[in-house]
């Protein structure tokens, strides 16, 4: 989840008078040879846009940090979901040069197997803890069983218990909500993919109305002006909030943003972002400045932020300067984006029982040692979650390769032993 596959070819200028172009004045022959035309630049090889890959990696890291620490200001600092949807939209526009049915089939195929691996583990854990969807009061009878289909194809919201197990158990009793709650992104991504042929056609017919329509829809359904109940309302709200970013991906791919003077696009984006902050300041949710709780602020802030990121897009074929040392991690995270996103919340919770084992160590029996561990608990969670994510990449990440019809790879970080074409994960294309 786009991407900046860019190509460029130089064209030699045609000298005057060639290909039958008449001169109006006879030219006098000279003894000095005519200067040779300047050589054209070497054709640029198609490849990954490393700037967009870097943005995707930053977005994934920000998602993990946000879900671990819960810092509301991170949604303002870097609106990860808007960035990820924009990058996916850009790749979708590039891919739709091919027949739409085949492109959609390819995207869905890349999405589903990683979801199935995740769903198998999460559902097994829920059932092992005694959850019965047909008896769940929040879902109800046969309909709860039917909703399990969303763990196979995420067209709607999957069911899960709000409380399961014991508060004194290895995982807190809300672990199912936190583990399965991330699936909203796959649902939104799937609907964007299905709608993309129509959206792209509309964008190329009427770019500005199509680009701005999601913001208008958010102003209707994301502010309470029109209320759509239940998960249908959540799905429509997600589609509206991030629809502008998805269509911005189209604009980036088609070069529309580059046709606008930078000072104009950045100025307009800044005004839209300022409106988002103003709206948020007057509609703060239970977590303060968390834009996830303020749809219109999320939509406008993400939209303006993405405009600026894509307007300044340098289209790197290689990470420059000091960024080059992160090349392997950027490549790995892009190749395993779906795996990292799906599993990170469950792995964050898995750090808790592991760290709790430290309290049983002999040198941890003093009050001072216990207080020190208590004070640094979330730091230890942060340090531990990344190795766990690495282990999960090794354990199930290869499913993304199977889904993309590639040879399975355990650690696709772009080293010489991993030279097959890099992937971006199913929702990156």
Mean pLDDT of 182-203: 97
Mean pLDDT along residues 45-63: 90
Instruction: Compare 231 and 394 and report the one with higher pLDDT.
Output: 394
pLDDT for res 378: 97
The mean pLDDT of the chain is: 87
**What pTM does this model have?**
0.86
Helix (H) or strand (E) holding 232: helix 230-254
Looking at residues 341-351, what average pLDDT do you find?
A: 97
Taking only the tens place, the pLDDT of each residue in 307-334 is 999 999 898 999 999 999 999 999 999 9
pLDDT in tens, 136-158: 877 667 787 889 999 999 999 89
Q: Is a pLDDT exceeding 70 seen at residue 14?
A: no
pLDDT reading at 11 higher than 50:
no
Structure tokens at 8: 């460029």
- Greater confidence (395 vs 418) lies with 395
Most confident of 67-81, 133-147, 149-163: 67-81
pLDDT value of position 423: 39
Average confidence (pLDDT) over 270-283: 98
């Amino acid at each position: 989840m786009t991407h900046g596959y860019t190509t460029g070819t130089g064209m030699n200028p045609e000298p005057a008078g060639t290909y039958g172009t008449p001169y109006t004045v006879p030219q006098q022959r000279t003894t000095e040879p005519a200067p040779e035309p300047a050589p054209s630049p070497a054709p640029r090889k198609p490849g990954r846009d490393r700037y967009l890959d870097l943005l995707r990696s930053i977005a994934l890291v920000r998602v993990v940090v946000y879900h671990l620490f819960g810092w509301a200001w991170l949604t303002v600092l870097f609106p990860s979901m808007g960035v990820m949807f924009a990058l996916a939209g850009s790749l979708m526009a590039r891919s739709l040069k091919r027949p739409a049915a085949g492109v959609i089939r390819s995207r869905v195929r890349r999405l589903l197997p990683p979801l199935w691996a995740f769903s198998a583990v999460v559902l097994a854990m829920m059932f092992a803890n005694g959850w019965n969807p047909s008896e769940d009061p929040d879902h109800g009878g046969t309909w709860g069983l039917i909703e399990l289909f969303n763990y196979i194809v995420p067209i709607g919201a999957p069911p899960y218990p709000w409380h399961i197990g014991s508060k004194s158990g290895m995982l807190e009793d809300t672990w199912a909500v936190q583990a399965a709650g991330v699936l909203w992104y796959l649902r939104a991504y799937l609907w964007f993919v299905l709608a993309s042929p129509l959206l792209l056609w509309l964008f190329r017919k009427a770019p500005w109305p199509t680009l701005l329509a999601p913001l208008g829809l958010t102003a209707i359904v994301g502010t309470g002006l029109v209320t759509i109940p239940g998960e249908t309302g959540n799905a429509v709200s997600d589609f509206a909030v991030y629809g502008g970013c998805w269509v911005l991906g189209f604009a980036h791919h088609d070069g529309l943003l580059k046709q606008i003077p930078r000072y104009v696009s950045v100025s307009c984006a800044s005004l839209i972002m300022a409106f988002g902050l103003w709206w948020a300041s007057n509609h703060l949710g239970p977590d303060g400045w968390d834009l996830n709780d303020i749809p219109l602020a999320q939509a406008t802030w993400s939209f303006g932020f993405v405009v600026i990121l894509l307007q300044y897009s340098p289209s790197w074929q290689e990470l420059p300067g000091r960024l080059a040392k992160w090349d392997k991690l950027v490549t790995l995270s892009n190749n395993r984006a779906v795996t990292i996103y799906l599993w990170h919340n469950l792995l964050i919770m898995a750090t808790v029982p592991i760290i709790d084992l430290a309290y049983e160590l002999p040198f941890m029996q003093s009050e001072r040692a216990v207080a020190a561990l208590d004070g640094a608990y979330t730091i230890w969670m942060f340090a531990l979650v990344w190795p766990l994510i690495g282990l999960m990449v090794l354990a199930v990440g290869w499913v993304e390769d199977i889904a993309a019809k590639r040879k399975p790879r355990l650690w696709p970080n772009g080293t010489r032993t991993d030279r097959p074409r890099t992937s971006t994960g199913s929702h990156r294309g």
